[in-house]
Amino acid sequence: MIRYIKGYVQIRVIGYSAERFLNACSHRGIYIWGLRPSNGAYEMYMSVDGFRRLKPIIKKTGTRVVIVRRFGLPFFLHRYRKRKLFFIGAFLSVALIYILSLFIWDIDIEGNLSQTDENILEFLQTKEVEHGMKKSNVDCARIVKDIRKEYDGIIWVSASIQGSRLLIQVKENEDSLPAAGGDEEIEEGADKESAETEEEPQDIVADRDCTITEMITRKGIPVVKEGDAVKKGDILVCGRVPVNNDAGETTGYHYNRSDADIKGKTVLPYEQEQDLTYIEKEFPAVTREELYLKVGKYRFGLGSRNHDYENYEVTSHEKRWKIGEEFYLPVSTGTRTIQPYTPKKHKYSEKQLQSILSARFNKYCEDLEKKGVEIIENDVKIYTGSEEARAKGNLTVIMPIGTPAPTEVIDVPKEKENETTGENIDGNDGDSH
């Protein structure tokens, strides 16, 4: 690269004293490479600066030097010196690439399962993180905090800038599952604790109404015992441990983070609905493909978009332009495939409805068992109405119970030292005289 920038030449040395010519070049520090014989002469490469220093050597050795080829940027610029528009365009291209490198043109999200890329990108837009923003305005630490605060199911986030791409990697909490027919989540008890509150004193409270069936306490004071019925929010294990003196009086409290394995018998409602009818799409053998060019947020179609299809599907295949592996550009090309279809309405048979609802219920039960939930009674039945079918009922289960909650801190006033130690007020040691 350095040789190309400075320029170099390929020369042919003709004469009877070629060896003296080579020795003289070595003596004067003129570097040559690629030496080879050619029809009774020698050909070699040397820098432009070295070639300019050959005149006294040529005169002394009586050789003749002919330039065979010229290489490098100086000769290229000299050859096209009259093509000013070319150099202006090259300069503008380099300037444009530099300017584009100052912005984020691609946001890549990896590791998300329950949250789609579109949902996370829409949330990031509310935080002014979007395609086309300046790299200098990207606060990776703030992005990490915002995502963890917005999505409870995401327990780890990493954000980094690679070229013109913002790479966001997430890890979701796999220890929770959605309850059937709602947004409520069943958590695995104290595993929901975050690292931020690890050192704070905590109780374990009931996260649902249940009857305690098993309780193993490792740290803290148990408040309930096996067989007790508790309500949601009741304290199960208290993180406030009393400190008593010799007289059995509480002089203070020791606070810690409660730790226990607690299981309880409870009832989980289950409900799933299924329409009696479904739409089947019949696709004819007619498709239409359109090319398009997308620059930033603007898309330019390279074909006719007019069509009179009432029902159709559109499939897009888009490719983002990039330089190398990480330098993405705000330009992409793609194709849109328009596929018309005719909707046909069909009705499920009773057997099909039972099969669909039973499969959903079995999947729900399998997910519960993976989380350590034991099903001891199943009261779910399938009902078929005039407009929809429904699986509804209750599951009696034994499952992990408990969620952390802050411990109430109680201030105990200090008693006088003589009252706690039993010393006399007048300071006498109690001997009689």
Assess if residue 85 is contained within a domain. no
- CA–CA dist 358, 369 (Å, integer): 17
Assess if residue 90 is contained within a domain. no
Could you read off the pLDDT of 83-103 as tens digits, one per residue?
Answer: 888 888 888 988 988 898 899
| Structural domain count of the chain | 4
> Pairing state of beta strands 106-110 and 165-172?
parallel
Tell me the chain's radius of gyration from C-alpha atoms: 40
Shared domain check, 284 and 271:
no
Shared domain check, 207 and 143:
no
Shared domain check, 264 and 290:
no
pLDDT at 415 over 70: no
How would residue 9 be classed by pLDDT, with cut points 50, 70 and 90?
A: very high
Could you read off the pLDDT of 134-173 as tens digits, one per residue?
Answer: 999 999 999 999 998 888 888 889 999 988 889 999 988 7
Q: What are phi and psi of 395, to 5 degrees?
A: -115, 125
Assess if residue 88 is contained within a domain. no
Instruction: List the CATH number of the domain containing 168.
Output: 3.10.20.310
Assess if residue 221 is contained within a domain. yes
Could you read off the pLDDT of 318-327 as tens digits, one per residue?
Answer: 888 888 777 8
Is residue 243 within 8 Å of residue 253, measured between CB atoms?
Answer: yes
Assess if residue 179 is contained within a domain. no
Is residue 424 within 8 Å of residue 296, measured between CB atoms?
Answer: no
Shared domain check, 243 and 205:
yes
Sign of CA dihedral 289, 295, 297, 299: negative
- CA–CA dist 114, 122 (Å, integer): 15
Shared domain check, 272 and 363:
yes
Assess if residue 265 is contained within a domain. yes
pLDDT at 416 over 80: no
Assess if residue 286 is contained within a domain. yes
Instruction: List the CATH number of the domain containing 29.
Output: 3.30.70.260
Shared domain check, 53 and 146:
no
Q: What's this model's pTM, rounded to 2 decimal places? A: 0.51
Shared domain check, 364 and 236:
yes
Shared domain check, 398 and 362:
yes
Sort 32 into a burial class: Cβ within 10 Å, 0-12 / 13-18 / 19+: middle
Could you tell me the two tokens for 168?
């966001």
Could you read off the pLDDT of 206-248 as tens digits, one per residue?
Answer: 999 999 999 999 988 999 999 999 999 999 999 888 888 888 7
Shared domain check, 272 and 353:
yes
Domain around 8: 2-79
Assess if residue 68 is contained within a domain. yes
Helix or strand holding residue 95 (H, E)? helix 84-100
Residue with tokens 């003289």: 24
Is residue 325 within 8 Å of residue 163, measured between CB atoms?
Answer: yes
Shared domain check, 260 and 383:
yes
Shared domain check, 298 and 221:
no
Q: What is the DSSP string of 350-369?
A: HHHHHHHHHHHHHHHHHHHH
